[in-house]
Amino acid sequence: MPDDHQRWSDEIYRPAVKRTPERRSEFLTESDLTIHPVYNPHTVGSSELPGEYPFTRGIQPSMYRGRLWTMRQYAGFSTPEESNARYRYLMSQGQNGLSIAFDLPTQTGYDPDHEMARSEVGKVGVSIASLADMEALFDGIPLDKVTTSMTINSTAPILLALYLAVARKQGVSFDKLGGTTQNDVLKEYIARGTYIFPPAPSLRLTTDMFAFCAEYVPQWNTISVSGYHMREAGSTAPQEIAFTLANGIAYVQAAVDAGLDVDSFAGRISFFFASHNNLFEEAAKFRAARRMWAKIMRDRFHAKDPRSWMLRFHTQTAGVTLQAQQPDINVVRTTIQGLAAVLGGTQSLHVNSKDEALGLPTEDSATLALRTQQVLASESGVTETVDPLAGSYYVENLTNELENLANELIASIDAMGGASAAIEHGFQQQQIENSAYRHLGLVESNERIIVGVNANVSPKESTVDVLRLDPDAERRQVERIQRVRAIRDTAAVDRTLSHLAVAAADTDVNTMPALLACVEAYATIGEICDTLRDAFGTYRPPT
């Protein structure tokens, strides 16, 4: 690269924020070699600079030289009090964003004392049934000082309403709140299964959130379009890109059809991807997805604001790759996966704990997972230059190939009438099942090696501490919801639920104000979802 251009790059890409005390004041290797912000190849690869359309090389000019990714370790289990204690602990260890896992009854709209919730309360996430639970979950955590990600889909509008109600009780105005609701119900029909309502009313609830937050909660990411769960179900990298972006297209189209201006909400759409073991393919996957989304938003939806073109994403390392055999090896796997996410330009990251093939993470394993991120940030050197892999013949070729394959799949989905129609045909589901079956065959034939499973097997059985949940937690949650029902104003609850039913029946009315009124009256998630089930019906997958 010519010296004049390098000097220009150094000037343009000087970090816009002050260096933090824990990081070096200069960008040098351990051998004191100067690290330039950008290395721009003249032979192959992306000729544009980071922060420029189509953002192959990152959405920010300085990337991690200016600001590190958010370390957002996913956690939630048992009661709100126990999850609150884990959040406080992780924050004391350097985590700078909350990420909440909810139990299955919360995800599917049942109260803890419903027969459908039996034996599932607090098992795979925290149990939240009313505003009383949400208040306990965030006790002592000021919502204007943290950003919060909530992995919730079918009941996402209700959980956001609960979060807003807690903020109001804390005296925090809605425009000061930052965070994300996953709110990606289409992938539930494809790969995960925690749907409640049919696709059409589910999309309506999604677009209601878009419109409400655009006006009242402007810093909130109203949706995190998720490829993670499809990858966990067995999709390939190009399928993960294609099915995720196709769902994103469906959400944008639904919002536009509802009368929203694309630039009023598109800048608050975020994405959620998995990161697997193949370091270079995964880094290339993130680059390809970023480039594709920029083209989709600019050329297909004619968005004018460059922020609407930017694919901002959270990454979680791949739970499906973690093994119960020799679980210490999982630390190596998640380190590679975390590195791929950082090399690919993620905005936030969760690194899985080594014991997650056996149970929920212990405090020690969760701390080690957080330390893995901190080592990547502070000791690996990968944050010191923007898009370190740019110009690699291999990575650039992988980026192009993944883009081409993903575009072919999106074209097939478009030909069927879009993501919702393709789901009804079972297209994405069948593609993922075929890929999962092929992967299993390769592992069983030893053509694909899984260390500790079909190669390098240890004769000794590993011993690992497994987190044991309090068996009394379910009873305590049942008692709490019964106390809430006993002391609340029943007439006010009935009134707000009636207003919600009226709002749900009128497609011209935004449901979010009615949902907020319900939760502030201490209506339960089960009561709210029953009201919406009466209005919308429930989804039954095709057989």
Does residue 531 lie within any of the structural domains? no
CA torsion sign, 137 to 142 to 144 to 149? Answer: negative
**Sign of the C-alpha dihedral computed for residues 222, 262, 206 and 351 taken in this order:** negative
Alpha-carbon distance of 111 to 522, in angstroms, equals 13
In a domain, 237, yes or no: yes
Q: Which CATH number does the domain housing residue 286 bear?
A: 3.20.20.240
Rounded mean pLDDT for each run of 10 residues along the chain, 543 residues in total: 39 39 56 69 59 93 90 82 89 83 96 95 93 96 92 96 98 96 94 93 94 95 95 96 98 94 94 96 96 98 97 96 96 98 96 92 91 95 91 90 96 97 94 95 94 90 77 91 97 98 96 98 98 96 74
Query: Per the domain annotation, does 522 fall within a domain?
Result: no
DSSP structure class, residue 298: I
pLDDT confidence of residue 40: 64
Q: What is the pLDDT of residue 132?
A: 97
126 DSSP assignment: B
Is 276 inside any structural domain? yes
pLDDT reported for residue 23: 46
Would you say 352 and 319 are in contact if contact means Cβ atoms under 8 Å apart?
Answer: yes
Domain of residue 287 covers 63-444
Euclidean distance between CA atoms 106 and 158, whole angstroms: 10
pLDDT per residue as tens digits for the range 137-158: 999 999 999 899 999 999 999 9
In a domain, 223, yes or no: yes
Q: How many whole angstroms separate alpha carbon 136 and alpha carbon 98?
A: 15
Number of domains composing the chain: 1
The partner residues of 107 in beta bridges, in order of sequence, read none
- Is 507 a member of any domain? no
pTM for the structure as a whole: 0.87
Residue 165 counted as domain residue: yes
C-beta of residue 54 within 8 angstroms of C-beta of residue 308:
no
Instruction: State the burial class of residue 125 (Cβ atoms within 10 Å of its Cβ: 0-12, 13-18, 19+).
Output: buried
Residue 173 burial by Cβ neighbours in a 10 Å radius (0-12, 13-18, 19+): exposed
User: CB-based burial of residue 43 (10 Å sphere; 0-12 exposed, 13-18 middle, 19+ buried)?
Assistant: exposed
Query: Could you tell me the CA-to-CA distances from 293 to 241, 323, 340 in Å, in that order?
Result: 10, 33, 20
Residue 2 lies in a domain: no
Token digits of residue 225: 């379009």
Cα–Cα distance list, 338 to 129, 314, 353 (Å): 34, 11, 12
